[in-house]
């Protein structure tokens, strides 16, 4: 395997510098890749694919025929982030989450930020994620966004930008843990030498955070994870996290509200539930408050929550900040609440409900990425330079009809990482989704999920649109931070029957 | 534990056991054909054992080796075919993935993929090997379950499901074979008859253990062994004893306290089996006896469902907390 054949073209490459040489943090890995005999890479890739299928690490695809399962393609070549760069990203994420939490709390209480004319009132009131039912609510410990999966990208200028905040039910963290597990078994030697920061304590951190939210009088809180069920595309993750945390995985039908508390149906009668990590959107949480046709939620749940007898994570209503128009104001939000400049900048965003922005967007739609304000998963989106004239015209009409529902951003050239394609390495675009937990303190999982657009030239990394994932290595700055590589061989001799030691 | 979860674990192991039992009867029939020559008559009892006689007749007409094997192994429209059982087992397994051990899930998944790949090819290259693999995969799953899962409530539900399914299948097999075999009176005592009886024993891996216990093969000896033996693990009585132990562990019932309906059912079954004599069973009609046994096993299934799985709502005005530890049926 020769890295000299690898072409970075005019993109920022996470592994190879503009001079064509591996970046300093990546040298271990580069040497190891170059040392692999021909054909070895494809063998290890096949072994990884097989492991994923046998472990049943699959997701179901919406809109496809029932029961269709796919594995999230996993690419062998990790994305590596130097420790010093990561420290800055981590600081930026803490800053952002802190500001977002103050912001959401303000929106449901005194609206200071609106009174001070930093964010227009109509932007908030028209956001689909804003829940009038949550006005005046005081979530346990004053925290709204307990679990966040912020999407970051690196542009060709080498700078990292925040693309989306994802405060509702960010998924993907199970792949971070499983990818790491795979990498340790496939490349134990590189892994050990590289000194990578551990990710395996995430489930424990998550459980600690959830227990911290329990009503104050509860001594041993009973925490559960609420899933929409086996047909949800992220079911694997729900089940995996429940297992890793050692908590129960429940469906709406397992829970019932009675006498001001939430109970679950067990083989031995009813048992009280204190904290719910819910992986169901606000809309479906409680048919008495939100969508009446929801069969996934628990009737009466919101009243119990309001009375402080059960905690929900994330807090209902926190999705208001997921609106892509609200997103555009977050740099101002950070300055307003913290009096600080944002450490990680936003991607410049045109707000189509502003007349001057709208005009620019309609004129330059072929150069921009246009996104619906309340969609996720890569749906409802136009990538201008990769679109046909007809698609552009369709989007112009959509934007004109509902300007409030659209934003546009310049087409950023996402950075690339070498990726195995037919046994050779080719550059593919990536983004990065770190996970942040907000409990007693803010915890940022080192690295996060690197999603990779496997189609040549594609900028869409979503799993539903042909994306895959990579392990993300944040390098430790000292030995104590490094993850232990598995696969150490037991050296001791065992006694066997009929032999004398 | 959650009622829904308990139900899924119970059915997960029932379906695995069911798939194994289907593989057993098919394999033994194939082997019998080798010894006795191809006889289409020998394929009907297999359809009867699984209880889907009518459905088969409607869709396939006459039974022969090819269509019975397809029906029992790969037919997705037959809810008791091996592939259907494995699909159902896997769906149940998926919904309790965080309760069972990772090793169990891995084995369940491999098992399913193995059969699914064969189903996609519509062809079994080496039937003997294929059905042996299915039996082994089921044993492996049961062994992994016992060796990697805490023997708490969830495990007891899994054992309960496995034992009741096994008791059901052993009794059905006995019913079908006894009826068919005794009908051909002319054969009684001939070498052909012995071959067939030996095949009944082989289909539940009982041939060797039977020999050790009873020596000569006789219809009564077989009935005694497959129904009433308390040491042979596929005998109905043995299965009932194990099911009773698990139900007791699940309910946490103390000696002398009232029993829930499921426990009451299994208690009576065990005590009746302890008092039963094979001569009495055969003289008053084995078929009638087994018919009655099927009804009682169905009642036990209903009792288990109502006691542990059925969705209840808390009684209003009462603190539902006080209901913890009870198993109101």
Taking the C-alpha atoms of residue A256 and residue B315, their distance in angstroms, rounded to an integer, is 12
Confidence of residue A24 (pLDDT cuts 50, 70, 90): confident
For chain A, give every domain's residue range.
Answer: 72-347+436-481
Window 274-313 of B: residues touching A by CB (8 A cutoff) are: 308-309, 311-313
Tokens of B80: 């008791």
The enclosing H or E element of B183 equals helix B153-183
pLDDT of A176 > 80? The answer is: yes
Q: What CA–CA distances, in Å, run from B188 to B93, B192, B200?
A: 46, 8, 15
Residue B104 covered by a domain: yes
Q: What is the pLDDT of residues B142-186, one digit of tens each?
A: 999 999 999 999 999 999 999 999 999 999 888 877 766 665 544
| Percent of chain B residues topping a pLDDT of 70 | 88
Taking the C-alpha atoms of residue A437 and residue A8, their distance in angstroms, rounded to an integer, is 35
Angle between helices B153-183 and B236-251 (to 10 degrees): 160
Task: Compute the nearest-CA separation of B169 from chain A (Å).
Answer: 27
Q: What is the 3-state composition of chain A as percent helix, strand, coil, each rounded to the nearest 5? A: 35, 25, 40
Q: Across the interface, which of A54, A265, A267 has its CB nearest the CB of B106?
A: A54
Q: Domain total for chain B?
A: 1
Check: CB of residue B15 under 8 Å from CB of residue B168: no
Nearest residue of A to residue B324, measured between CA atoms: A269
ipTM of the complex: 0.77
Q: Which site among A225, A241, A269 would you substitute to test the B interface, given the most B Cβ atoms closer than 10 Å to its Cβ?
A: A269
> Structural domain of residue B145, as residue ranges?
3-323
Q: What is the pLDDT of residues A199-231, one digit of tens each?
A: 999 999 999 999 999 999 999 999 999 999 988
Q: Across the interface, which of A55, A240, A265 has its CB nearest the CB of B3?
A: A265
Report the DSSP pairing between strands A442-444 and A435-438. antiparallel
Q: Which site among B4, B88, B95, B98 would you substitute to test the A interface, given the most A Cβ atoms closer than 10 Å to its Cβ?
A: B98
| Percent of chain A residues topping a pLDDT of 90 | 63
Task: Compute the nearest-CA separation of A182 from chain B (Å).
Answer: 15
Q: Across the interface, which of B94, B102, B320 has its CB nearest the CB of A259?
A: B320
DSSP string covering B230-242, please? SSSTTSHHHHHHH
Check: CB of residue B320 under 8 Å from CB of residue A270: yes
Torsion over CA of B71, B77, B82 and B87, rounded to 10 degrees?
160
Taking the C-alpha atoms of residue B174 and residue A399, their distance in angstroms, rounded to an integer, is 72
Confidence of residue A449 (pLDDT cuts 50, 70, 90): very high
Kindly report the pTM of this predicted structure. 0.84
Cβ neighbors of A229 (< 8 A, separation 6 or more) are: A235, A251, A296, B95
pLDDT of A495 > 60? The answer is: no
Q: What is the pLDDT of residues A74-84, one digit of tens each?
A: 999 999 999 99
Tokens of B278: 């094979």
Tell if the CB–CB gap between A56 and B94 is shorter than 8 Å: yes
**B76 inside 8 A of chain A by CB:** no
Cβ neighbors of B161 (< 8 A, separation 6 or more) are: B9, B10, B11, B12, B13, B14, B17
Residue B328 covered by a domain: no
Torsion over CA of B232, B238, B239 and B243, rounded to 10 degrees?
-140
Check: CB of residue B194 under 8 Å from CB of residue B168: no
Taking the C-alpha atoms of residue A23 and residue A25, their distance in angstroms, rounded to an integer, is 6
Q: DSSP code of B258?
A: P
Taking the C-alpha atoms of residue A433 and residue A447, their distance in angstroms, rounded to an integer, is 8
Matching residue, tokens 């600080």: A340
Torsion over CA of A179, A185, A188 and A190, rounded to 10 degrees?
-40
From the list A318, A299, A328, the residue with the least C-alpha distance to A100 is A318
Phi, psi of B32 (to 5 degrees): -65, -35
């Amino acid at each position: 395997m020769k890295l000299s054949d690898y072409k970075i073209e005019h993109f920022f490459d996470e592994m190879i510098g503009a001079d064509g040489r591996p970046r300093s943090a990546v040298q271990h890995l580069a040497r190891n890749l170059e040392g692999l005999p021909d054909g070895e890479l494809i063998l290890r890739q096949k072994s990884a694919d097989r492991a994923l299928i046998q472990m049943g690490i699959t997701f179901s695809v919406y809109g496809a025929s029932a029961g269709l399962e796919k594995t999230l393609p996993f690419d062998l070549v990790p994305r590596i982030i130097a420790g010093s760069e990561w420290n800055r990203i981590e600081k930026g994420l803490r800053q952002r989450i802190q500001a977002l939490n103050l912001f959401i709390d303000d929106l449901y209480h005194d609206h200071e930020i609106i009174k001070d004319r930093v964010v227009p009132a109509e932007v908030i009131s028209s956001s689909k994620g804003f829940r009038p039912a949550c006005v005046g609510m005081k979530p346990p410990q004053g925290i709204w966004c307990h679990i966040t999966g912020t999407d970051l990208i690196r542009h060709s200028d080498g700078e990292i930008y925040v693309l989306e905040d994802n405060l509702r039910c960010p998924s993907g963290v199970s792949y971070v843990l499983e990818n790491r597990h795979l990498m340790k078994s496939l490349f134990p030697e590189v892994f050990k030498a590289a000194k990578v920061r551990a990710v395996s304590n995430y489930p424990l951190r998550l459980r600690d955070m959830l227990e911290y939210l329990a009503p104050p009088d509860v001594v041993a809180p009973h925490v559960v994870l609420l899933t929409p069920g086996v047909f949800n595309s992220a079911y694997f993750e729900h089940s995996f996290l429940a297992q890793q945390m050692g908590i129960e995985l429940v469906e709406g039908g397992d829970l019932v509200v009675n006498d001001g508390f939430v109970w679950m149906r067990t083989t031995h009668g009813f048992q009280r539930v204190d904290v719910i990590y819910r992986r169901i959107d606000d809309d479906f949480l409680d048919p008495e408050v939100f969508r009446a046709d929801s069969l996934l939620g628990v009737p009466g749940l919101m009243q119990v929550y309001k009375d402080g007898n059960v905690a929900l994570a994330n807090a209902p209503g926190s999705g208001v900040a997921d609106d892509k128009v609200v997103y555009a104001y977050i740099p101002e939000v950070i300055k307003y609440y913290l009096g600080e400049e944002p450490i990680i900048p936003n991607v410049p965003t045109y707000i189509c409900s502003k007349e001057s922005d709208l005009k620019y967007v309609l004129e330059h739609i072929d150069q921009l990425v246009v996104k619906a304000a309340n969609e996720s998963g890569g749906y409802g989106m136009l990538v201008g330079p990769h679109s046909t004239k007809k698609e552009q015209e369709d989007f112009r009409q959509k934007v004109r009809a509902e300007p409030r529902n659209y934003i546009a951003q310049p087409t950023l050239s996402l950075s690339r990482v070498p990726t195995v394609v037919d046994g050779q390495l080719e550059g593919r675009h990536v983004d990065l989704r770190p996970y942040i937990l907000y409990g007693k303190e803010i915890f940022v999982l080192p690295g996060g999920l690197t999603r990779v657009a496997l189609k040549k030239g594609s900028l869409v990394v979503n799993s539903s649109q042909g994306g895959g994932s990579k392990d993300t290595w944040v390098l430790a700055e000292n030995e104590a931070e490094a993850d232990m590589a598995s696969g150490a061989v037991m050296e001791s001799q065992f006694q066997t029957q009929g032999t004398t030691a | 534990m959650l009622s829904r979860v308990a139900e899924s674990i119970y059915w997960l192991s029932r379906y695995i056991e069911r798939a194994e039992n289907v593989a057993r009867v098919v394999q033994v029939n194939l082997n019998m054909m080798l010894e006795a020559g191809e006889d289409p008559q020998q394929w009907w009892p297999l359809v009867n054992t699984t209880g889907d006689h009518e459905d088969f007749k409607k869709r396939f007409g006459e039974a022969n080796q090819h269509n019975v094997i397809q029906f029992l192994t790969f037919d997705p429209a037959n809810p008791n075919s091996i592939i259907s059982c494995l699909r159902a087992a896997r769906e149940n397994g998926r919904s309790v993935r965080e309760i069972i051990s990772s090793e169990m899930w891995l084995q369940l998944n491999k098992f399913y993929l193995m059969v699914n790949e064969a189903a996609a090819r519509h062809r079994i290259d080496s039937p003997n090997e294929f059905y042996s693999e299915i039996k082994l995969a089921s044993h492996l799953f049961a062994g992994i379950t016992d060796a990697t899962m805490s023997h708490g409530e969830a495990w007891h539900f899994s054992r309960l499901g496995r034992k009741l399914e096994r008791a059901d299948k052993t009794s059905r097999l006995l019913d079908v074979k006894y009826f068919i075999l005794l009908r051909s009176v002319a054969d009684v005592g001939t070498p052909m008859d012995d071959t067939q009886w030996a095949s009944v024993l082989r289909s539940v891996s009982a041939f060797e253990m039977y020999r050790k216990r009873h020596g000569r093969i006789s219809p009564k000896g077989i009935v005694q062994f497959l129904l009433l033996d308390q040491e042979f693990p596929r005998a109905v009585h043995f299965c009932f004893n194990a099911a009773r132990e698990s139900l007791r562990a699940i309910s946490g019932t103390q000696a002398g306290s009232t029993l829930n309906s499921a426990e009451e059912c299994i208690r009576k079954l065990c005590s009746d089996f302890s008092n039963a004599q094979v001569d009495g069973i055969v003289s008053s009609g084995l078929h009638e006896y087994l018919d009655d046994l099927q009804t009682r096993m169905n009642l036990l299934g209903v009792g288990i469902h109502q006691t542990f799985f059925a969705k209840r709502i808390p009684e209003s005005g009462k603190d539902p907390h006080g209901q913890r530890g009870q198993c109101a049926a």
